[in-house]
Amino acid sequence: MNQRHAPTLKPLLSIAIVLLVVIGLYFVVRALPFDALGDIRPKRIAWWSLPLIALLQIVFLFLAAEIWRRVVRILTGTQITLWSSYLQLAVVTVGKYVPGKVWGFVARAGEMYRQQIPVHLSVMCSVVEQMLLMTGALLIAIVAALIALPKYWIAIIVIGVFLLLAAIVASSKIPALTRWLLRHRNIQDIPEKVPEYHAKRIFRFTLAYSVLWVLSGLIFSIIYFSLFDASITRENVAALTLANTAGIVLGFFAFFVPGGIGVREAITTFVLAGFIPVREALLAAVCYRAWLILIDGLNALLILGREASMTKRK
């Protein structure tokens, strides 16, 4: 797609990104669950787990940036660097702490503007990304539920496959849907179909995003097993992965709760209540939240420093 006439990023948008990061950082600090973590005793923590968690988190972040980079290339024809891709994801994760959930995507549109990608195309990419994330979450939820709840395998397969196919079909219609939504603005350069964005590629992206959900579930599982003397079984790991996935997905829809704080942990605990003690489930969920807030806080500082540096150069 031709991006020659895309304007450069205006200083006002750069200031808006800085403001978003500052607000997001404020909520990140305010969201730290110090009180809930008071029940955790350092001597009970398996410290060997920390390097493993950090390694898995690095792999998660690298893979997420690479997948997003490829989504942008296929939908817009624009090649962005892995670093730019990571920064675009970082502003979204920081922005989720601002009530409304859309401000991170607004900031990412500004970042993509710097890459000469028009705002309406960045909207299409973000919608596709979120749909693929949900489809990947659904796939992992199906597999995890089959392992954790084998008695209900028929219902899980029937319902899960139906929803999965529906999600893939819906994903393929996003370019046309985006065009329809923006038609009143006389924007015509969103194609009805993107040649490289077909069902087979959508399924591949779904598998790629599924790996992210697996990594997230593994991190959550390691946190749990490092805190409590529980048996490491396939069923337990599947239950933890299922609960973590459900908590993140449903917590996302709590639009006016910064980062879905409280909602995500409640859902995760509710799903795990049938598998492990409620107190253990809640503490594990809170510890995972604290870990993610630490990562998001570092991202906020990274973006803030970058924007401040760019402002000085201007």
For residue 267, what pLDDT is reported? Answer: 93
- Using CA atoms, how far apart are residues 8 and 22, in angstroms rounded to an integer? 23
Is residue 138 classed as helix, strand or coil in its secondary structure? Answer: helix
pLDDT tens, position by position, for the chain (314 residues)?
444 444 444 555 556 666 666 676 666 666 655 565 555 554 456 677 889 999 999 999 999 999 999 999 988 888 999 999 999 998 888 878 776 667 778 878 878 888 888 877 888 888 889 989 999 999 999 999 999 999 999 999 999 899 888 888 887 777 777 666 666 555 555 555 555 677 788 889 999 999 999 999 999 999 999 888 888 899 999 999 999 999 999 888 877 777 777 888 899 999 999 899 988 898 899 889 989 988 988 888 888 777 777 666 65
Give me the residue label for tokens 């179909």: 193
Sequence-separated (6 or more) residues with CB below 8 Å from residue 179: 187, 190, 191, 192
For the chain, what are the domain ranges?
11-313
Distances (CA, A) of 24 to 88, 114, 250, 268: 15, 21, 21, 24
> 228-234, long-range: CB within 8 Å, 24+ apart, which pairs?
228/276, 228/280, 228/284, 230/276, 230/280, 234/147
Helices and strands: H and E segment counts in the chain: 11, 0
State the pTM of this model.
0.84
